[in-house]
Every structure is written in structure tokens, then in C-alpha cells.
């Protein structure tokens, strides 16, 4: 019998099935992507999407909240437990709105903010000029060191003392090394800034004990919930008790309307998964896999920004290979390996046609792949890079990739809307 989606909208049904199959038959190395468990998928597709619940527990503007209140409280309690935070707001629609809410809680338009330059690995929302954060605030930005590709804390301190920003950001989207949150906290204190830590990429590593936490050091910690944390697409803000009210008021009524309750429930499920011991294993395996992948890529002559990785992410500078990131990314995709092209620090090419390739290991780790598969992936990447025009080679590798993916089935990708025997706990 066809599902109701197949019967009612065969076109969308087919496209979802095709995308699901694509995810299950390619090696997905985009470091911000993952596979959620079937349990998280199920909660995301639930009737909770029907309910309006503006406000917070005990202060809602609509009736009928007896179950929604319990779901949101569970998500909050689990977030506080997983991250050791005094306060958590689980309503932000995604990472960017979470950051916007953090600004709204503490800043006025025109205030000076200091974040990391986008080509150095910073996020759009940390003051990049095309973003609302760069337009509504007076943004100054630090870069990584040109030689080492790493954050130079002396440079950050010097700049912060000279600029005296209202907000100092740590965190980014293309940072392959451990972020020294306690050093950032000290600098923020010295220059009188609020310290905002954005852990969107590394939240799962922090939850699993594979990266130091900024919780307790930063005034505000923002995150997405769908990257290494392996929950539904969403955002979250953590703060000390002192800042709790300001954060909550900024999210609602400051920035958003009704929370996405289906997402909140799915987040609660993901956080429950993050409370299990298996999540620690997963987080540490992500790092081991990234190190194995990086080491093999280096052997093949790939130049890695900062020389390697401490976390889930590897940034390849292709300048020495005389290959633009886009050209290699497209060739790799034909070979069944999905990555994204990315700026590298001090890139001389444009952000939409940059010199780098950004890869990471969260999704393949969730599938259960280990160091052996990482070596294989690096070898495939090298073969493709050595002859980007060879479509026969790409087809051959795509077939080999499909075989590997069969051996490591991803949760939620075996059926149209996805139930799978393999669930990621």
C-alpha cells in the first residue's frame, strides 16, 4: 500500500525518496552534516508540528500546553545535564537565529562586536559584512595566523584591548583545532567584553567529552543542534542563571514567535542519546577518524590548514594542487564522496570559488566507519584529485563507495521516510 505521502503528492514523495537514497549511497564528508537516529526522525515528523505554544512553561499565550510543557521541560533538563549549564533555551529555530537572539539580549544596534573573519573560519553571524551582524553592528574581526593557520591569542588580546568590543566571539565553521575557551574568557574579562562562545560545530564533541567546554566560562553559549550533536535542525542558547531572563526574553518575544515543538521533542530525544555512554564513544571516534583521514591525506601531499586536526574537521588548501575547491568537490561528488568547497585563510580566490575543500567525519562515524575506511576514503580522494576529468575513474569509485555504504548502513535511510534496523544510540 502506498504511504499517504506517496498517494497525495507523488512528486514530493519521490524526491524525498531520492534524497534519502542519495544520503545512504554516498560518503558524506560535509562536517556540518550527520545522520539523526530513526527515533529523532520520528519525533521530527510528529503531530507536535500542529501546536502553537508561544511563551514558556507557565507563561504561555495559548491553551492546551499540558504535554508541550513537559516536552520542553525535558529538553531543557537534558540540555542542562548534558552540557552542565545552569540555563538552557531550546526554542531558537536554528544556529543563526540563536546568535541573533544573543545579540538582541545584550547589544544595541551599532555596538562593537569582535568575531573571527569568515575566510579564517568564522561564521557569517559573527560580524561578516553581508550578514545582519555585520550590517547592524560595528564589526571588527580577527584572523588566524598566516603561517600556522591557527588562532593567535596574543593577536586577539591586542586587538580586543585596542577595540574594546561589547562582545567577543569564539567559535567558527572551519576551525580544525581545539579552541582555548579559557584564554578567550580571560581576554574578554581584560577588555570588558561579554564572551559569546558558538559551539555549533563541536557541540557533540563537547557533549561526548572530546573537546573542552566553554560552559561556565562564557556569558552565552550558542549552538546548532543538528551538526555533531546529531539532533534535529535547530538551535539552543545556554547561559548562567544571571543571564537567563535576558536570553529568554530575547528569543521570545524579542525575535521569534511560536517554538517548533516537533523539533523540541526531537532535540529531547537526541539529548537523551547524548546522555548514553555510546555517545562518548561516538564523539571520540569522530576525532580518531578525522586524525586518520588527515594523516593519510597529508601522505598524499594534500596541504591541510594548520597541518592537521584536533576535532571532526579538516580544511584542505588546494593551492599546491592547482585545483580550485569547486572543481575537486564536483569531481568527488561524481565519485560518490560529498564535501564542500570553502575559503582558506587569506584566500586569494572568491568565497563562491575558493581554494579550499572542507571535510569532516561526523556522518561516516555515525555509520560506524573507522580508521580503515578513512584511509580508503583518503586514497579515493587522491585518485580523483590526480585526474579530475576522468569520469570512468569516478564511476568506478562511486561503485566502490556504494559497496562500503551498504556495509555501513546509515540510520533512517533504508525506507522512504526511514526506519532502519541500525539505530544510532
| Catalytically annotated residues | 52, 54, 198, 224, 227, 233
CA 393 to chain centre: 32
Residues 219-258, one symbol each (x = binds ligand PLP by CB under 6 A, - = not), give -----x----------------------------------
Asked if 172 touches ligand PLP (CB under 6 A), the answer is: yes
Asked if 177 touches ligand PLP (CB under 6 A), the answer is: no
- The CA distance from 392 to 170, in Å, is 44
Contacting ligand PLP within 365-384 (CB under 6 A):
none
DSSP bridge partners of 114: 140, 168
Give the residue with the Cβ less far from ligand PLP, 37 or 228: 228
Segment contacting ligand PLP by CB under 6 A, of 196-204, 276-284, 306-314, 375-383: 196-204
- The CA distance from 71 to 323, in Å, is 49
Asked if 26 touches ligand PLP (CB under 6 A), the answer is: no
* Minimum distance from residue 5 beta carbon to ligand PLP (Å): 25
Say which residues have a Cβ less than 8 Å from residue 392's Cβ, sequence separation at least 6: none
Angle 261-274/66-83 helices, nearest 10 degrees?
A: 40
- Selected from 23, 32, 309, 343, the binder of ligand PLP by CB under 6 A is 32
Asked if 120 touches ligand PLP (CB under 6 A), the answer is: no
Say which residues have a Cβ less than 8 Å from residue 137's Cβ, sequence separation at least 6: 103, 107, 109, 110, 111, 112, 113, 127
* Minimum distance from residue 277 beta carbon to ligand PLP (Å): 27
At residue 352, the 3 state secondary structure works out as coil
Asked if 94 touches ligand PLP (CB under 6 A), the answer is: yes
DSSP bridge partners of 169: 196
Asked if 309 touches ligand PLP (CB under 6 A), the answer is: no
Of 119, 12, 14, the closest CA to residue 348 belongs to: 119
Say which residues have a Cβ less than 8 Å from residue 338's Cβ, sequence separation at least 6: 26, 27, 28, 29, 30, 332
- Selected from 26, 78, 201, 349, the binder of ligand PLP by CB under 6 A is 201
- Selected from 26, 28, 87, 123, the binder of ligand PLP by CB under 6 A is 123
Q: Where on the chain is the footprint of ligand PLP (CB under 6 A)?
A: 32, 94-96, 99, 123, 125, 171-173, 198, 200-201, 224
Amino acid at each position: 500500500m502506498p504511504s499517504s505521502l506517496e498517494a497525495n503528492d507523488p512528486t514530493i514523495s519521490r524526491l524525498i525518496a531520492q534524497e534519502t537514497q542519495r544520503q545512504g549511497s554516498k560518503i558524506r564528508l560535509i562536517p556540518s552534516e550527520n545522520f539523526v537516529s530513526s527515533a529523532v526522525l520520528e519525533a521530527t515528523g510528529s503531530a507536535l508540528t500542529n501546536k502553537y505554544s508561544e511563551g514558556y512553561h507557565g507563561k504561555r499565550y495559548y491553551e492546551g500546553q499540558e504535554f508541550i510543557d513537559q516536552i520542553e521541560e525535558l529538553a531543557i533538563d537534558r540540555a542542562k545535564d548534558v552540557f552542565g549549564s545552569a540555563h538552557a533555551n531550546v526554542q531558537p529555530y536554528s544556529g543563526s537565529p540563536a546568535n541573533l537572539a544573543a545579540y538582541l539580549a545584550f547589544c544595541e544596534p551599532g555596538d562593537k562586536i569582535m568575531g573571527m573573519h569568515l575566510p579564517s573560519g568564522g561564521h557569517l553571524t559573527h560580524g561578516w559584512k553581508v550578514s545582519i551582524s555585520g550590517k547592524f553592528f560595528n564589526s571588527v574581526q580577527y584572523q588566524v595566523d598566516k603561517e600556522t593557520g591557527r588562532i593567535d591569542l596574543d593577536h586577539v588580546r591586542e586587538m580586543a584591548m585596542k577595540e574594546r568590543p561589547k562582545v567577543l566571539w569564539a567559535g567558527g565553521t572551519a576551525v580544525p583545532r581545539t579552541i582555548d575557551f579559557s584564554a578567550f574568557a580571560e581576554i574578554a574579562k581584560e577588555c570588558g567584553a561579554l564572551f559569546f562562545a558558538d559551539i555549533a560545530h563541536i557541540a557533540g564533541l563537547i557533549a561526548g567529552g572530546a573537546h573542552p567546554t566553554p560552559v561556565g566560562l562564557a556569558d552565552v553559549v550558542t549552538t546548532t543542534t543538528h551538526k555533531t550533536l546529531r539532533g534535529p535542525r535547530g538551535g539552543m542558547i545556554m547561559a548562567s542563571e544571571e543571564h537567563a531572563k535576558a536570553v529568554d526574553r530575547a528569543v521570545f518575544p524579542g525575535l521569534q514567535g511560536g517554538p517548533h515543538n516537533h523539533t523540541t521533542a526531537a532535540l529531547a530525544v537526541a539529548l537523551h542519546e547524548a546522555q548514553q555512554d555510546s555517545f562518548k564513544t561516538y564523539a571520540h571516534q569522530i576525532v580518531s577518524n578525522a586524525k586518520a583521514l588527515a594523516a593519510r591525506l597529508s601522505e598524499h601531499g594534500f596541504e591541510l590548514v594548520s597541518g592537521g586536526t584536533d576535532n571532526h574537521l579538516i580544511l584542505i588548501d588546494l593551492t599546491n594542487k592547482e585545483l580550485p575547491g569547486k572543481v575537486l568537490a564536483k569531481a568527488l561528488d561524481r565519485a560518490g564522496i560529498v564535501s564542500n568547497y570553502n575559503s582558506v585563510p587569506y584566500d586569494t580566490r572568491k568565497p563562491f570559488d575558493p581554494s579550499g575543500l572542507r571535510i569532516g567525519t561526523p556522518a561516516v562515524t555515525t555509520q560506524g566507519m573507522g580508521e580503515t575506511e578513512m584511509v580508503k576514503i583518503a586514497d579515493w580522494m587522491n585518485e580523483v584529485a590526480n585526474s579530475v576529468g576522468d569520469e570512468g575513474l569516478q564511476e568506478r569509485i562511486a561503485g566502490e563507495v556504494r559497496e562500503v555504504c551498504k556495509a555501513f548502513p546509515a540510520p533512517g535511510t533504508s525506507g522512504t521516510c526511514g526506519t532502519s534496523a541500525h539505530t544510532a544510540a
